[in-house]
Structure 1
Amino acid sequence: MNILLAVAAIHAVVLVIPGPDVLLVSQTALARTRRAALLAGLGVVLGISVWAALALLGIGLLFGAFPWIHGVVKVAGGAYLLWMGVNLWRSSAGPDAQAAPVQAPLSDLAALRAGFLTNISNPKAAVFFGSVFSGVLGAQAGGSLKLAAFLLIVGLSAGWFALVATGMSAAPMQRAYLRARRVVDRVAGSLMLGFGTLLLASRE
């Protein structure tokens, strides 16, 4: 139980730290709909599930043995985040950036895909989960303990992103967004560009 509590505490801290995942779900909730934000959050959770499962299977060892695989994933992820940042800047520069109530509708599949790609494109997630499972669980952890940790991480992630999507899509939040839409989109775009640049520039 103490091990699972430690996993929960570490993951909770990582979840609440603003990053590309939180930024995407928040911006989708503000500019689109609650449904789109929830689906984007679900996509992020699916990405987290993949990285957590791969960490359990030893992807950290794979990255260590074949560094070029990590490099390819990192470049692809950085490029994707840069692309998202540019799109946010472009949407904020349109003539109707402040007049339109919300951005164009986002299909369920597009929202889910955006969340999944945002998370899965960051190989640092694999490094984090690898360190959590190897450092906290220990190399001798049994299958049942690893499964419990996996389910705990997925459950915490789902709860957190559902909370973000629901809270940020509330009517008062969307009205505030409409009053400062151009600024918010440019800040979000700049942060995405920054995340992408840091990912490309990182050496680990």
Structure 2
Amino acid sequence: MSWLALLPLLGFWTLAVISPGPDFLITLRYSAGRSRGSGLRVAAGVVTGIAVWALAALFGLTVVVERFEWLYTATRVAGALFLVALGVLTIRAARRPAARAVGTDLTNQGDPGGRTGTATGEMAASEGEASGDRSAGAADGVTPPVEAGGTQSRWREWRVGLLTNLANPKALAFFGALFASLLPHGASMAVRAGTLATMLVIAFTWFGCVALLSATPVIARSYRRARRKLDIVTGALFIGMGSLLIPRG
């Protein structure tokens, strides 16, 4: 089979990746608000989430989800709650610069045995640290961003990117439709693996560029000067996106 047959799929995928959404916003926010490294780690988490959805679609999980509708609904509700919580915490961090302590308190209060409590706690801590780092340079608006220190903080940034991507279970249906319509029929496992690898490279290239460009001095300074307003708008967008995922009827 000629690899030229995969060009429509890869072209459509590229257009889908560069379309603005939660993944774009979270990468932009961490890169411009904290550091280039933070943005790249969030981007890596986003691409990891993409890999999870794409693998699930390739191995037929779409059919399982369609057969057990309650599973899809539960995943969708969990994703909606995560995006709404992320939006609320983003707005709180924007309105309250001393959110580091709040983030720590929320982390301690999270249920260590439950995924939702842990994810929300970690997300709150990330928001608190990000706010604390940014507020340190609020006096002149041009203080260089502080690189997140420690393995735990880096891991948290990656996980925020991962959970932001996994929060939208519609991605499973998207990948299922994409592979069903544009992946050549009878493609071998090697072709499927190569296609997936190429898609992930495209995704990381895009989000990596977003992280690198967002961390440039001009954009970072502009972001810090308008941080509160931009974070409130970003938080509102997260809340709106999460609300759209809530099943109705």
State the TM-score, normalizing by the size of structure 2.
0.77
**CA-CA distance at 1:104 after TM superposition:** 9.4
Task: Specify the alignment match of 2:126 in structure 1.
Answer: none
Return 5+ residue gaps in structure 2 as ranges: 99-130, 138-144
Q: Are the equivalent residues in 1 in contact too, given 2:36–2:215 (CA < 8 A)?
A: yes
The RMSD of aligned alpha carbons is: 2.0
Task: Specify the alignment match of 1:15 in structure 2.
Answer: 17
Q: Cα deviation per residue 1:132-174 (whole Å; 9 max; x = unaligned)?
A: 1111114422222211211111111111111010001111111
- The amino acid that maps onto 1:64 is E
Q: Percent identity?
A: 33
Q: Residue 50 of structure 1: which of 49, 52, 56 is its match?
A: 52
Structure-1 separation of matches of 2:174 and 2:81: 21
Structure-1 separation of matches of 2:185 and 2:67: 18
Task: Specify the alignment match of 1:143 in structure 2.
Answer: 189
- Segment drifting more, 129-138 vs 23-32: 129-138
Task: Specify the alignment match of 1:30 in structure 2.
Answer: 32
Residues 7, 89 of structure 1: alpha-carbon distance in 2 compared, 3 angstrom cutoff: same
**CA-CA distance at 1:100 after TM superposition:** 3.8
Task: Specify the alignment match of 1:163 in structure 2.
Answer: 209
Q: Cα deviation per residue 1:57-103 (whole Å; 9 max; x = unaligned)?
A: 01110111111111111000000000100001101111577854268
Residues 99, 57 of structure 1: alpha-carbon distance in 2 compared, 3 angstrom cutoff: closer
- The amino acid that maps onto 2:15 is V
**CA-CA distance at 1:105 after TM superposition:** 4.2
Structure-1 separation of matches of 2:8 and 2:71: 30
**Aligned length in residues:** 203
Task: Specify the alignment match of 1:192 in structure 2.
Answer: 238
- The amino acid that maps onto 2:93 is S
Query: Which runs of 4 or more aligned residues in structure 1 lie more than 3 Å from their structure 2 counterparts after TM superposition?
Result: 95-100, 102-106
Q: Cα deviation per residue 1:149-204 (whole Å; 9 max; x = unaligned)?
A: 1111111111111101000111111100111111110011011001100111478x
**CA-CA distance at 1:54 after TM superposition:** 0.7
Return 5+ residue gaps in structure 1 as ranges: none
**CA-CA distance at 1:131 after TM superposition:** 0.8
Structure-2 separation of matches of 1:91 and 1:170: 23
State the TM-score, normalizing by the size of structure 1.
0.93
